[in-house]
Amino acid sequence: MNELTTEIIAALAQKQDLDEVFRHHLEIAINQLLQTELAEFLGYERYSYAGINTGNNRNGSYERSFDTKYGQLNLTIPRDRNGRFENHTLPAYGRHSDNLETTVIQLYTKGITTAEIAELIEKMYGAHYSKATVSNMTKAVNEQVQAFQQRRWVSWFG
């Protein structure tokens, strides 16, 4: 069992709200996607020597809240020194979206191809991503996706 499955079972056993479990994992996944998106934009990973003397570096981040049907997400939005990075994961100045959960949940449940993910993001946000970019973005949450897909089902109905 993975962390998500364990938390779901614990929440069900204690009769807690599952929305908090989903909210927490959604927040982690979106923050990872934002960091991966910046790495793709800059062309190098964090702490990589490839970024030395490139003319543009990471330049901290800022906090932003984002309301979903699972609750409020506290996101850390990365920025670059030249101020050219614009994330395509979240709508600009948007504070609420139901489409974002749908996208991430589809990543977790269906294991769809990079081409399908790129097409979905383009339809939702009008941002075009290459298959390689989508592949790099999905690597950030690949471990959680695989764990979810390989989870054991517990029969609750006998």
- Tens digit of pLDDT at every position of the chain (158 positions): 677 778 778 877 887 778 888 888 889 889 999 999 999 999 888 888 887 888 888 889 999 998 887 888 999 999 999 999 988 888 777 777 655 545 655 665 566 666 777 676 666 666 666 777 766 666 656 666 666 667 676 655 55
Classify residue 111: in a domain, yes or no. yes
Please indicate, yes or no, if residue 70 is contained in any of the structural domains: yes
pLDDT digits (tens, 9 = 90+) for 130-141: 777 766 666 656
- Residue 154 covered by a domain: no
pTM of the model: 0.60
Residue 30 and residue 75 in contact, taking contact as beta carbons nearer than 8 Å: yes
The domain of 19 spans 3-149
Residue entry with tokens 């973005």: 137
- Beta-carbon-side half-sphere exposure of residue 57 (alpha carbons within 13 Å): 9
Neighbours of 39 (CB within 10 A): 19
| Residue at 127 is within a domain | yes
CB 129 within 8 Å of CB 122: yes
The neighbour count for residue 7, using CB atoms within 10 Å, is 18
Is 121 inside any structural domain?
yes
Instruction: Report yes or no on 155 lying in a domain.
Output: no
Using an 8 Å Cβ cutoff, are 89 and 34 in contact? yes
| pLDDT score recorded for residue 130 | 72
How many structural domains does the chain have? 1
Q: Which tokens is 13 given?
A: 């056993």
Flag whether 157 is in a domain: no
